[in-house]
Structure 1
Amino acid sequence: MQQATLLKFLRLSYREFFPHQADFSHLTKTVDQYLSQETPLWWVDSVNSPGVAPVACLWLGNAIDQIKGDRYAHIFLLYVMPDYRRQGIGTALMRHAENWARARGDRQIGLQVFESNQPALNLYHQLDYQTHSFLMVKPL
């Protein structure tokens, strides 16, 4: 159940920014490889229909700081269904992620965001997240 719902949320997220790409089958492999007891997953239900279908998702994992070597929390996915955006759910989930990371002793939290996802970038900037590195790719 959790795995299938997480996969649904991942696909929804990617389809928003890559609507012309039809195949997201690789996301199944991502979930199979990374979803575990060490990568917690939280769901937000609708107040009007609790337990029916989640309206938001937060999936956390681990990363290693490539400079200091410290483990830190990494946000694999934060997704809020379009009808529920701009209501504070994303901010609340980000705060939850930060509190979870602090409670386990992490000194930082990270995430990757597509540069075309301006609403997410705005949220992360409002929450004082800063660009630490750039992912660069070159088609071959």
Structure 2
Amino acid sequence: MIRRGSLLERSLLLKFMQRTYQDLFPNENFFHLEQTVKQYFSSDTPLWWIEEESGGSGGREELPPLTSPASPAPVACLWVGNAIDQVHGNRHAHIFILYVVPEHRRRGIGTALMRYVENWAIQRGDRQIGLQVFQSNKPALNLYNQLGYQTQSIWMVKFLSAEK
């Protein structure tokens, strides 16, 4: 079941973001993500949840729960912001995060969320959707390639030493 998130779910969004990055970089701390959510999460940046329809823990015992036992258990989230196409100047949707908890992956949830956001973006007049994916995240790269996403630019970084 998909539902639109509310601004009151800031802490749950933060937990999903932290889990996303911990999956990719297990030895890092991601306390700074709180600032990202604080700065960018608003009524202009929609959030959607996929929730389990009924009972069952789905094997989540090995991970801390994302919600209290009395609330529906989200198994995926999609958070979308706005960006400007620097070539043409058009506003477009930008995916901040798409996350499916590990025990619910490979069931079509990510694909369904991507199709959902594509339809949402078309309805609001967007001509493209942007996202950033880590080169090491092969499952996500495969998903986006299968859905027709193409590399438009490459984000490059250079780590600077504080030593002089």
TM-score by length of structure 1 reads 0.96
| In 2, Cα distance between equivalents of 1:114 and 1:102 | 26
The answer as to 2:110 corresponding to 1:90 is yes
SS in 1 for 2:77: strand
Instruction: State the percentage of identical aligned residues.
Output: 62
In the TM superposition, residue 47 of structure 1 has moved relative to its aligned partner by 2.6
The amino acid of 1:3's aligned partner reads R
CA-to-aligned-CA distance 1:79-108 (integer Å, 9 cap, x gap): 000010000100000001100100000000
Name 1:40's counterpart in structure 2: 46
TM-score by length of structure 2 reads 0.82
The answer as to 2:16 corresponding to 1:12 is no
The answer as to 2:145 corresponding to 1:139 is no
Count of aligned pairs: 139
Which moved further from structure 2: 51-60 or 98-107?
51-60
CA-to-aligned-CA distance 1:14-39 (integer Å, 9 cap, x gap): 00111111x21110000000000000
The amino acid of 2:85's aligned partner reads D
| In 1, Cα distance between equivalents of 2:156 and 2:54 | 43
SS in 2 for 1:31: helix
The amino acid of 2:145's aligned partner reads H
SS in 2 for 1:59: strand
The amino acid of 2:138's aligned partner reads Q
What residue ranges of structure 1 are gaps of 5+ in the alignment?
none
The answer as to 2:9 corresponding to 1:2 is yes
What residue ranges of structure 2 are gaps of 5+ in the alignment?
1-7, 57-70
Higher-Rg member (1/2): 2
Aligned equivalent of 1:53, options 52, 73, 79: 73
SS in 1 for 2:120: helix
| In 1, Cα distance between equivalents of 2:72 and 2:87 | 44
Q: Superposition pairs for residues 51-90 of structure 1, below 5 Å? A: 51-90=71-110
| In 2, Cα distance between equivalents of 1:6 and 1:126 | 26
